[in-house]
Chain A
Amino acid sequence: GNSVTQMEGPVTLSEEAFLTINCTYTATGYPSLFWYVQYPGEGLQLLLKATKADDKGSNKGFEATYRKETTSFHLEKGSVQVSDSAVYFCALSEATGANNLFFGTGTRLTVIP
């Protein structure tokens, strides 16, 4: 079946630190992979996505590369800001778009000044 395993949180970083949040997946076929972000008091927002192996999704300084050989989609950012404090969810979908999403448990990031 389909599942997503995410790095346990919470993660606390100082401003301008490097961020990595690990995500691995199990899926049948060739899923699309996503990172969603949930800021305090707000709904889930799509941060970035990749639809095939070796694709790199990027947005707002965040990047993640679809690694089929390691079934991973780790989220990275070179220099985090206080405004990046949020909960980050890795997710997969069997469809090319964002059909039924299977989510990881989420990783809470807190960035301190």
Chain B
Amino acid sequence: EAGVAQSPRYKIIEKRQSVAFWCNPISGHATLYWYQQILGQGPKLLIQFQNNGVVDDSQLPKDRFSAERLKGVDSTLKIQPAKLEDSAVYLCASSLEYNSPLHFGNGTRLTVT
């Protein structure tokens, strides 16, 4: 089966600019997650969707981050405006159901200068 697809692979922007990341989960997977992995740290959950509804966004900095999952399939994560501390790898993961194992994409590495 095809894995979780993410794009772009790399992105470099200046602070205060905006950026968007895209994720296409494994076909049929109802649950989608966005994680932020800062260099030297483990991934941290930003937001979790079940189909097109938000299950958990308690760790999402809502003043600058937003995410949507239209039609319960693809998802986009946006940062506006970006800060230097947003430099990280943004990982998308999906799972078949709420309590199924997660499958991760290769991530998008964001550098904010």
Q: Which residue of B lies closest to A104 (CB)?
A: B42
Of B11-19, B64-72, B73-81, B103-111, which binds chain A?
B103-111
Minimum C-beta distance from A29 to chain B (A): 14
Does B82 make an interface contact (CB < 8 A)?
A: no
Number of interface residues of B (CB under 8 A): 24
Minimum C-beta distance from B45 to chain A (A): 5
Sample of 25 A–B contacts (CB below 8 Å): A4-B42, A36-B104, A41-B106, A42-B106, A43-B91, A43-B105, A89-B43, A91-B42, A95-B99, A96-B99, A98-B95, A98-B100, A98-B101, A98-B102, A99-B98, A100-B33, A100-B45, A100-B48, A100-B56, A101-B43, A101-B102, A102-B42, A104-B42, A106-B41, A106-B42
